[in-house]
A and B are shown apart, each in its own frame.
Chain A
Amino acid sequence: DQQVKQNSPSLSVQEGRISILNCDYTNSMFDYFLWYKKYPAEGPTFLISISSIKDKNEDGRFTVFLNKSAKHLSLHIVPSQPGDSAVYFCAASGGGNKLTFGTGTQLKVEL
């Protein structure tokens, strides 16, 4: 079941630069999208979300962009900080309340 895909398993970015994490989905019924951050041995921490009626949502250093025609969303973190180093999951829901998760991208922010 590959309804939500994160094709980059890892990303390395310098401190202060922009981190861009990407996510693609195939199910056109998805209408709500979320990004979670996860540290080892902890639960996913909610970061930011976007409804399908919008194409952008911003919260501090985090911005999520949604391109419905391409079935693509991205998370921008600017400026990136060492504390942002974690695994980032995108998740989607639609027509119900279960979340379908991607496989995650390990972000490493280097000094």
Chain B
Amino acid sequence: EPEVTQTPSHQVTQMGQEVILRCVPISNHLYFYWYRQILGQKVEFLVSFYNNEISEKSEIFDDQFSVERPDGSNFTLKIRSTKLEDSAMYFCASSGNTDTQYFGPGTRLTVL
């Protein structure tokens, strides 16, 4: 069964450093998303991406964040200058239409 994959599973970085989280969505899906879950809190929407552009973003998704689909298979989330409060699980998701989203296993980002 097709699935969303994410790398790395755990990323440790120093505050102020740039990180890139990578995702391979399900191959025939057209809509791509990033969510995050801070420890003990709910899963929060960050951004959605369709047709090579951002279709919606949350207040969390400020200028420090960017997304890219550099080729036909990868979907990346970049955080330019990480802060302590960026420590969270980051989940990529994809969908074939605007309904059911399928999630990857997540990347645990730890900012020291």
| A contact set with B: CB distance below 8 Å | 32, 34, 36, 41-46, 49, 89, 91, 93, 96-104
| A98 and B43 contact, CB distance less than 8 A | no
Complex CA–CA separation, A49 to B98 (angstroms): 13
| B103 and A44 contact, CB distance less than 8 A | yes
| A99 and B101 contact, CB distance less than 8 A | yes
What residue in chain B is nearest A4 (Cβ atoms)? B42
Range class of the B interface residue count: 20 to 34
User: Which residues in window 19-76 of B have CB below 8 A to A?
Assistant: 31, 33, 35, 41-45, 48, 50, 55-56, 58
Q: Can you offer 16 A-B residue contacts whose CB atoms are under 8 A?
A: A32-B99, A34-B100, A41-B108, A42-B105, A43-B103, A46-B101, A46-B102, A46-B103, A49-B99, A93-B99, A96-B56, A96-B98, A97-B95, A99-B35, A103-B42, A104-B42
Residues of A within 8 A of B91 (CB): 43-44
Q: Can you add 19 more A-B contacts, CB < 8 Å, to A45-B103, A96-B55?
A: A41-B105, A43-B4, A44-B91, A44-B103, A46-B101, A46-B102, A46-B103, A49-B99, A89-B42, A96-B48, A97-B31, A97-B33, A97-B56, A97-B98, A98-B56, A100-B45, A101-B42, A101-B44, A102-B42
Most buried by A among B33, B98, B104: B98
Instruction: Report A95 CB to chain B, min CB distance, Å.
Output: 10
Residues of A within 8 A of B98 (CB): 93, 96-97
Complex CA–CA separation, A93 to B95 (angstroms): 13
What residue in chain A is nearest B58 (Cβ atoms)? A98
| B100 and A42 contact, CB distance less than 8 A | no
Residues of B within 8 A of A41 (CB): 105-106, 108
Residues of A within 8 A of B103 (CB): 36, 43-46
Determine which of B6, B48, B106 lies in contact with A97 in the assembled complex, contact meaning CB atoms within 8 Å: B48
Most buried by B among A32, A43, A44, A104: A43
| A98 and B42 contact, CB distance less than 8 A | no
Determine which of A42, A97, A101 lies in contact with B43 in the assembled complex, contact meaning CB atoms within 8 Å: A101
What residue in chain A is nearest B50 (Cβ atoms)? A97
| A89 and B56 contact, CB distance less than 8 A | no
